[in-house]
């Protein structure tokens, strides 16, 4: 698939939307390709992280490709739709998802950003939800974005449709870091991930995602049941042995 480039390097899967001439806007093939890639990656114990980005330097993802004229035309006999399925696949993924925001991040692109666990942006990146400018609203994006930033900031993006710069995105918590050296920042972040326990991260992401939206008592009951399972993993035994023996741990990922 030429519109979605994939490569693996040192345990990291890189996914690049390669539609630079369309500002890396998503079409049905890209959405399906991303969904399939996430499902496959989640089953691959050799992977430690996934990086999502766009080709070139101008756009991370401009959202749906409006030039097709079919962006909001669905098969209404199907209860589940393509972009929503992509967000579902991301939520079910227990590998760290990292957004490398190399430029404009708009509309559905904000959904891709929000579905990632961590994000690094270039200083020239812009962020926005311009759907109201074409008579629609960022409905599915709200499912992943509303827990990420405050309601006032979210209302501003949705109702005005006006973009914000990378500095504001950082202040709002949309991204973890803004860096002139985008690739250097991404690789530094990855280095801080891949030396940690794969089992702890995998189970930890499952835990974090399951807790979202749970009331306090249900949250506490679930975490009570989970903490003992962390301790039963091979990585937990190795990590504690390495700590006592003052040596680097040798993770099995189990």
Q: Among all residues, which ones are annotated catalytic?
A: 131
Strands ordered across the beta sheet of 164-165: 59-61, 104-106, 126-128, 164-165
Strands ordered across the beta sheet of 177-178: 4-9, 12-17, 49-54, 97-101, 118-121, 177-178
Strand stretches in 152-244, DSSP E: 164-165, 177-178
3-state secondary structure of 159: helix
CB 120 within 8 A of CB 176: yes
Q: Which of 13, 205, 162, 183 is nearest to 101 (CA)?
A: 183
């Amino acid at each position: 698939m030429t519109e979605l480039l994939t490569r693996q390097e040192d345990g990291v899967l890189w996914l690049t939307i390669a539609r630079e001439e369309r500002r890396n806007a998503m079409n049905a093939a890209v959405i399906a390709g991303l969904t399939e890639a996430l499902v496959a990656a989640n089953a691959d114990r050799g992977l430690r992280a996934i990086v999502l980005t766009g080709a070139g330097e101008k756009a991370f993802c401009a959202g749906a490709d409006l030039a097709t004229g079919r962006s909001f035309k669905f098969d209404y006999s199907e209860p589940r739709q393509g972009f929503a399925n992509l967000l579902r696949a991301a939520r079910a993924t227990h590998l760290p998802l990292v957004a490398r925001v190399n430029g404009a991040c708009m509309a559905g692109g904000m959904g891709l950003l929000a579905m990632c666990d961590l994000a690094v942006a270039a200083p020239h990146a812009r962020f926005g939800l311009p759907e109201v400018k074409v008579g629609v609203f960022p409905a599915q994006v709200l499912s992943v974005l509303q827990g990420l930033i405050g309601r006032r900031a979210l209302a501003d993006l949705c109702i005005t449709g006006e973009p914000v710069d990378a500095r504001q995105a950082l202040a709002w918590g949309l991204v973890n870091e803004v860096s002139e050296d985008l690739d250097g920042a991404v690789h530094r972040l990855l280095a801080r991930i891949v030396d940690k326990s794969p089992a702890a991260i995998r189970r930890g992401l499952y835990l974090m995602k399951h807790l979202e939206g749970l009331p306090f008592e249900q949250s506490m009951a679930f975490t009570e049941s989970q903490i003992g399972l962390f301790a039963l993993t091979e990585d937990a035994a190795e990590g504690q042995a390495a700590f006592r023996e003052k040596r680097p741990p040798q993770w099995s990922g189990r």
